[in-house]
Amino acid sequence: MPVRWLAVPPNDLGRKVRFSGTLRRVDHKQGNRRVGVRHRLIGMAARLVWRIAKPRTIGVRAVLLDRVGRVALVRHTYADHWYLPGGGVKKGESIAAALLRELAEEVAIADAVIERVLGVYHSRGEGKDDHIVIFVVRTGARGVLARADLREIEQAGWFPLGDLPETTSPATRRRIVEYQQGATGTGAW
């Protein structure tokens, strides 16, 4: 049976939003699988373009910690590992604003407080010349971590620093170790 529904992004709360359409509910796992395949295909096309154009990009990620010191990790619909939440900086956007936007988009965190910069890293993966700024961020959030963007985020969760999922990406593990050691990192991603 068709269902009328509307999901309002956090930045649009309080604004008038119009919706005229009918959407069908889909099995959550099946819907994410379809979206994941689409994201993977788009990602493959993007990587091909990046190998040719070799763009310089700037990204942000957060070692996002809750009240009890657990770290937030996300697993994307188009990737197999757990990562620190974050994403790309848009044209005309400050690095700090990009980080706060990404946290709202990926894990619905609106009360993030940036504590410090953990480091600035460089990656030439996927054909890009990518610079990634990692921030240490605190939130007063408690309970289950929400997935704000169901098209991009397959899972999101809080994890004790010493008990990360087995499929946590190697770079994410290195950033968490640097945080635990009180280090400030630079160099290769």
| DSSP label of 85 | S
Q: What is the CATH number of domain 10-188?
A: 3.90.79.10
Per-domain boundaries in the chain: 10-188
| pTM of the predicted model over 0.85 | no
- The count of other CB atoms within 10 Å of the CB of residue 98 is 19
Decide which of 118 and 14 is more confident. Answer: 118
Q: Considering only residues 103 and 38, tell me which one the structure prediction assigns the higher pLDDT.
A: 103
The rounded mean pLDDT for the chain is 79
pLDDT by residue (tens digit) across 60-108? 999 999 999 999 999 998 888 999 999 999 999 999 999 999 999 999 9
Residue 163 CA to residue 111 CA, distance in Å, equals 25
SS3 content of the chain, % helix, strand, coil (to 5): 30, 30, 40
Q: Give the residue-averaged pLDDT of 6-30.
A: 36
**More confident of the two residues 2 and 72:** 72
Q: Looking at the chain, how many residues does it have?
A: 189
Residue 131's SS3 state is strand
| Helix (H), strand (E) at residue 99 | helix 95-107
